[in-house]
């Protein structure tokens, strides 16, 4: 467990001004950002790891581990910041999207959570899609029931663990589970709810037709609050004792991780499209705030934390896939040679965009002269190509022509762990041909959650809070000439292989 103090951290001389805590409960770990309410300065970042289990596409975690990790990360952050617990004025949780958490009447998990990247429910996703047709799903929810979505995991549970499903007294998303532990209130927000396949972005509530189709009783689900920065309640005495925080402080409704990152970047005052973002992490995501409600199969038409729209494309294989290839080759990640000729489609865990849940990785174009550095470079290029192809689909869904000159000039905000890697940045520049902005803030999910907590404390709109903190500022990089030769080479391989070989 490590801590990362930021400006105004331990060296600030034991400051005792008000702070908020923004929690990022992700796939691999929990991070707790201790943030100065007035300035938005990140005083420290507490961390605690998670354990993910499962083979052959299964990805599971015991939800109780998330709660223990939250307590550890909060304690770690406060200790590193040198901030007394009494200074904490509010808390909010942003969590990994889509996961299925099934609880008994006492609020205890009946089963390990099925995570967003668990692809075991791909057959259930196909069956649900056939029930209504793609157009029917898109018209209601703005998304298709791919294996990532919560409703498909519920269908898997009903078929494979019927006794667990029948015993369920509550069904929660990961961030809902933690928020309820904090304040005792079952609540979610439009952003995270829109990734369940139960919530209608057209109507702004759970869809009774979809609930009936999946055998879900709405009483089992968390009610949807208008926005993630609303108050869910206050920290209970029991939770306060476990976390070492003051009882009675406001707890925000919270949201999903991508929605929180958008808040942290100050997205939400959009016209047709606001600041497209490329996030390079365990998964690769592209998203933007929009007033256009997307309803196309290539892009998830999510709601934002405030109930507007956050169209998003997601690839399962991003930094972890490149790290795996580097490990197999025995190379440092920065030893890649780009543009070398081989093509590597890094679908090591199936894929979501494009929808290939049973895909495996594919390597082609080898020659005697091929080097290990070129193979690693091909892994970078394959991952970035997939992310940027999802970006093109997102732009089109927002009624923009990806090839148009004004659209091509839109700068990309590059965030996530990969944004700190030289080879990742250069690969995005070369394959996109776009200017980049590299925000200085590196923990945008946790900082977005902190802005939600600040909103719950002050009643100010969370995007306004984040904008006042200026979290979106960063270094600007001019565009490079786009490498269309590499793009076309990868594109042709994907088109040829996207049938039986990968599906």
Which positions are annotated as active-site residues?
A: 257
Q: How far apart are alpha carbons 8 and 15 in whole angstroms?
A: 9
Say whether 269 sits in a helix, a strand or coil.
coil
A 10 A CB-CB count for 31 gives: 26
For residue 309, which of 227, 394, 191 has the smallest C-alpha distance? 191
Spatial neighbors of 385 by CB under 8 A, at least 6 apart, are 431, 487, 490, 491, 494
Is the distance from CB of 239 to CB of 81 less than 8 angstroms? no
Q: How far apart are alpha carbons 494 and 503 in whole angstroms?
A: 12
Is the distance from CB of 147 to CB of 503 less than 8 angstroms? no
For residue 207, which of 132, 298, 318, 316 has the smallest C-alpha distance? 132
A 10 A CB-CB count for 436 gives: 21
Cα–Cα–Cα angle for 484, 488, 491, nearest 5°?
135
Separation of first and last alpha carbons in the chain: 39
Phi and psi torsions of 52, nearest 5°: -110, 130
HEC letters along 21-85: EEEEECCCEEEEEEEECCCCCEEEEEEEECCCECCCCCCEECHHHHHHHHHHHHHHHHHHHCCCH
Spatial neighbors of 369 by CB under 8 A, at least 6 apart, are none
> Tokens for 415?
């965030």
Say whether 254 sits in a helix, a strand or coil.
coil
Say whether 231 sits in a helix, a strand or coil.
strand
Q: How far apart are alpha carbons 301 and 121 in whole angstroms?
A: 20
For residue 255, which of 198, 310, 190, 314 has the smallest C-alpha distance? 190
């Amino acid at each position: 467990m490590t801590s990362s103090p930021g400006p105004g951290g331990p060296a600030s001389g034991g400051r005792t001004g008000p702070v908020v805590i923004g929690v990022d409960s992700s796939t691999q770990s929990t991070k707790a950002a201790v943030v100065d309410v007035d300035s938005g300065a990140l005083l420290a970042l507490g961390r605690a790891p998670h354990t993910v289990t499962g083979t052959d596409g299964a990805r599971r975690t015991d939800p109780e581990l998330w709660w223990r990790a939250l307590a550890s990360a909060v304690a770690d952050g406060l200790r590193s910041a040198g901030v007394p617990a009494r200074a904490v004025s509010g808390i909010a949780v942003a969590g990994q999207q889509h996961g299925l958490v099934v609880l008994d009447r006492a609020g205890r998990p009946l089963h390990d959570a099925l995570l967003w990247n668990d692809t075991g429910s791909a057959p259930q996703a196909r069956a649900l899609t056939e029930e209504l047709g793609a157009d029917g799903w898109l018209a209601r929810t703005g998304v298709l029931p791919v294996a990532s979505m919560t409703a498909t995991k519920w269908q898997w549970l009903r078929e494979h663990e019927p006794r667990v499903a029948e015993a369920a007294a509550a069904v929660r998303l990961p961030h809902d589970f933690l928020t309820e532990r904090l304040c005792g209130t079952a609540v979610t927000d439009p952003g995270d709810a829109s990734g369940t396949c139960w919530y209608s972005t057209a109507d702004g509530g759970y869809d009774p037709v979809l609930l009936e189709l999946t055998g879900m009783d709405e009483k089992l689900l968390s009610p949807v609050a208008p926005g993630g920065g609303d108050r869910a309640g206050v920290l209970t005495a029991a939770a306060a004792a476990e976390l070492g925080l003051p009882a009675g402080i406001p707890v925000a409704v919270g949201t999903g991780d991508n929605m929180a990152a958008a808040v942290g970047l100050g997205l939400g005052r959009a016209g047709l499209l606001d600041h497209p973002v490329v996030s390079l992490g365990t998964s690769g995501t592209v998203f933007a705030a929009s007033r256009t409600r997307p309803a196309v199969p290539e892009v998830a038409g999510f709601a934002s934390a405030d109930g507007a729209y956050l169209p998003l494309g997601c690839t399962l294989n991003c930094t972890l896939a490149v790290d795996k290839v580097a490990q197999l080759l025995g190379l440092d990640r920065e030893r890649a040679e780009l543009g070398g000729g081989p093509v590597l489609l890094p679908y090591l865990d199936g894929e979501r965009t494009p929808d290939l849940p049973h895909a495996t990785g594919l390597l082609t174009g080898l020659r005697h002269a091929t080097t290990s550095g070129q193979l690693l470079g091909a892994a970078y290029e394959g991952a970035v190509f997939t992310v940027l192809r999802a970006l093109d689909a997102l732009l089109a869904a927002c009624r923009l022509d990806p090839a148009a000159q004004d659209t091509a000039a839109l700068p990309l905000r590059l965030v996530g762990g990969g944004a700190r890697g030289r080879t990742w940045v250069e690969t995005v520049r070369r394959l996109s041909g776009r200017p980049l902005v590299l925000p200085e803030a590196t923990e945008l999910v946790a900082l977005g959650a902190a802005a939600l907590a600040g909103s719950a404390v002050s009643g100010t709109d969370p995007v306004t809070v984040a904008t006042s903190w200026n979290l979106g500022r960063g270094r600007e990089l001019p565009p490079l000439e786009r490498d269309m030769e590499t793009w076309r080479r990868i594109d042709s391989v994907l088109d040829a292989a996207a049938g039986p070989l990968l599906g």
